[in-house]
Amino acid sequence: MLTRIDHVGIACDDLDAAIARYESTFGLTVVAREVNDEQGVEEVMLRVAEGPMGASHVQLLRPLSPETPVGKYVAKRGEGIHHVAYGVDDVTGALAELEGRGIRLIDRTPRHGAMGSSIGFLHPKDMGGVLTELVQAATPAP
Ligand code: V0V
Ligand code: CO
């Protein structure tokens, strides 16, 4: 079902400081920056590596307000790892399959994600405390 680690989502207070950290520490390059109102974030994707199953990224997340998922998370725990996202070929099918295995879904139908992707979240309470995201990229891996 899983094709790669698509991204690691990191909650930040200061997006530009976080970008500078990943640029100067690892020489990563920003490949996308967008506001996702539905998810309550401004987010930046930095490319880590390109593999046969597609690219992997660091995703930096700044909450648009304190009432958003990332805003609540930062208020409770401070900056840090917010979620892990895996690539899938068919996010709708993967969500249905996982629900059939008894995993609680946050999204039963996919939502709009970074760089034109379709995404769905699994509840952290059924994933050992790890908020888990599935990502179907806008264009399939070569
Ligand atoms: C909350 N909890 C987490 C967590 N956020 N546990 C692990 N990782 C996280 N990131 C725990 C929290 O500590 C509580 O545990 C419990 O869940 C309920 O938390 P809450 O603060 O009361 O918040 P809720 O229940 O209102 O919302 C929690 C969920 C929410 C996970 C349901 O954050 C959500 O819907 N997340 C999915 C959407 C999202 O995160 N979007 C932002 C990224 P205790 O204290 O009860 O034990 S957007 C993105 O990644 C995009 C666009 C992309 O990749 O393209
Ligand atoms: Co994400």
Query: What pLDDT was estimated at residue 141?
Result: 72
Number of H helices, E strands in the chain: 3, 8
Question: Which residues 6+ apart lie within 8 Å of 2 measured at CB?
Answer: 86, 87, 88
Catalytic residue check, 7: yes
Query: What pLDDT was estimated at residue 20?
Result: 98
pLDDT in tens, the chain (142 residues): 999 999 999 999 999 999 999 999 999 999 999 999 999 999 999 999 999 999 999 999 999 999 999 999 999 999 999 999 999 999 999 999 999 999 999 999 999 999 999 999 999 999 999 999 999 999 877 6
Q: Residue of the nearest CA to atom 48 in ligand 1?
A: 39
Beta strand ranges found along the chain (DSSP E): 4-11, 29-36, 41-51, 54-63, 80-87, 111-112, 118-122, 132-136
Query: What pLDDT was estimated at residue 24?
Result: 98
Query: What pLDDT was estimated at residue 140?
Result: 78
Pocket test for ligand 1, best of 59, 73, 79, 134 (most atoms within 8 A of CB): 73
